[in-house]
Structure 1
Amino acid sequence: MKKLKALALPLLFSSSLAVAQNPLFTDVFTADPAALVHNDTVYLYTGHDEAPNNDVFFEMHDWLAFSSTDMVNWKKHGPIMKATDFKWAKGEAWASHMIERDGTFYFFTTVRHNDTKPGFAIGVATSKSPTGPFKDAIGHALVTDDMTKHTPNDWDDIDPAIYTEENGDTYMFFGNLMPKYVKLSDDLLSLDGEIKTLDLPNFTEALWVHKKNDNYYVSYACEFPEKICYAMSKSIHGPWEYKGIL
């Protein structure tokens, strides 16, 4: 989750249809875009920033979705969900990641938990459609601030990113200041093991994992002002070899 509104990705749409340019969209502010390809369509999921123009921080209450079959023309969907649709959440619709499994779409996302477990938390919602509506899948948070003690701040459990191995094992990467990951259960609705940390230099936030050939790549926001760094490994469990700034 980028902390300054100036870093948000601006998005433009006219009615429900937009034509690509750079930036793609300019009449609504968003942050933390995450893409999903499903049935030859690209879906882009973002937070929706409604902060006043003179504000330097986010004010995000819901998430938007945009779809395209040609990466030029974009259709707007949403809001697909509000942060407070998680009944245990205070609000603040931060970074998310969408995946599809056996016809169900799983929306892993960051919200601020209510005062029963203060701090930011990660929840999971599901839908039979990539554009929702989405509903809380488990009735409580998947990860809460009190489950990790690696940093003193209350926003160190943010920015979930999901990676599934060829054998079906699925992991969630997340964190701010301290990079973390954990194996998920087969139904993706609970943790299957302990939360572990990664050794990544200058880590800030926004982990993203992919694999090419026999190599795993993790990219992430590093330093401040933020840059994008990456590391490589032969195993999803590391060790990770830092490769530099992209």
Structure 2
Amino acid sequence: MTDGNPIITDVYTSDPALLVHDGTAYLYTGHDEAPPDADRFVMRDWLCWSSSDLRSWTPHGPLLRVDDFAWARDGAKASCVVERHGRFWWYLAVNHATVPGGAIAVAVADHPTGPFRDALGRALITNDVPDDDGRDHTIDPWVLVHEGQAYLYWGKHRCFTARLDDTMTALAGPVTEIELPGFAEGAHVHARDGWCYLSYGVGHPQRVAYARSRGPEGPWTVEGIVNEVPGNCATNRPCIVAFHGEWIFFYHNGVLPGGGNHRRSVCADRLSYDADGRIERVRMTGEGLLGSG
């Protein structure tokens, strides 16, 4: 797990989410277990690795399974972990056992590697929030804590946002929809130098586009493409993080032997900004962070 991209090679991984805590990076991923001939996702749990240099990764095994949420039935999809109030909050997309469609779960722990437990005993968001449009739009949660306030983003085909209250387990205001042309899924928000950046999958197969705003609630201006369609994979889940003075773009592709749309692999390449703060297009490489940059 130190020879470039993909960064994890002994298992199929997807939907990267990074948390940096006390100088260590924690990588949380989905776990693609579809048989080689399957044309569907098989995802039962979420995995975790840690690293002090983003080159050598220590596995921590599955930290959560769908079965840890009594009200969920399957579909361990994209997730994100944030630190607040000295605890670690994990927001995860699953399928609901009784409410049609997807749902967002919340788990909590006192350490980045757990043990995590269901913080609510029920879903934070179900597929009828904010409305039931007949489509499954409740996937891919992302949380940004900005100037003391936590903001939740999620959605498929439609992008939603709402404030979280101080408990991190309830909404603190109305759900609003962010208008993003071609939005597919995978909303991710990060802040840098007075700007908020919303990156997301667009089209199909997916590229990653981004929009920029002076605040986490917009208004958002679409500015360009972050990366092109990844190799041998129709989906494209972004995660952008600063680590030891460098900005890094995490994503997944399907280039491992036997890989593809339902057997993906997490990768990482460097990301940079121009003088005006615009994201420059990421060059996806085989050497990844082992390259000279």
Q: 2:140 aligns with which of 151, 159, 163?
A: 159
1:189 aligns to 2:169 (yes or no): yes
RMSD: 1.2
Distance in 2 separating the partners of 1:103 and 1:20: 34
1:211 aligns to 2:201 (yes or no): no
Distance in 1 separating the partners of 2:54 and 2:181: 34
> Is the contact between residue 231 and residue 241 of structure 1 (CA under 8 Å) also seen in structure 2?
yes
Residue identity in the other structure for 1:184: L
CA shift, 1:20, in A, is: 4.2
Distance in 2 separating the partners of 1:190 and 1:33: 24
Distance in 2 separating the partners of 1:183 and 1:66: 29
> Is the contact between residue 151 and residue 177 of structure 1 (CA under 8 Å) also seen in structure 2?
no
The count of aligned residue pairs is 226
The 4+ residue runs of structure 1 with deviation greater than 3 A are none
Q: Is the alpha carbon distance of 1:224 and 1:189 closer, same or farther for their aligned partners in structure 2, counting shifts above 3 Å?
A: same
Q: 2:39 aligns with which of 47, 50, 56?
A: 56
TM-score normalised over the length of structure 1:
0.89
Structure 2 gaps, min length 5: 227-293
Q: How does 1:90-239 map to 2 (within 5 A)?
A: 90-115=73-98, 117-149=99-131, 151-154=133-136, 156-166=137-147, 168-239=148-219
1:73 aligns to 2:56 (yes or no): yes
TM-score normalised over the length of structure 2:
0.75
> Is the contact between residue 78 and residue 131 of structure 1 (CA under 8 Å) also seen in structure 2?
no
1:126-153 Cα shifts (integer Å, max 9, x gaps): 1112112211001110000122326421
Structure 1 gaps, min length 5: 1-17
Identity, % of aligned positions? 42
2:274 aligns with: none
Greater RCO, CA 8 A, separation 6+: 2
1:15 aligns with: none
1:29 aligns with: 12
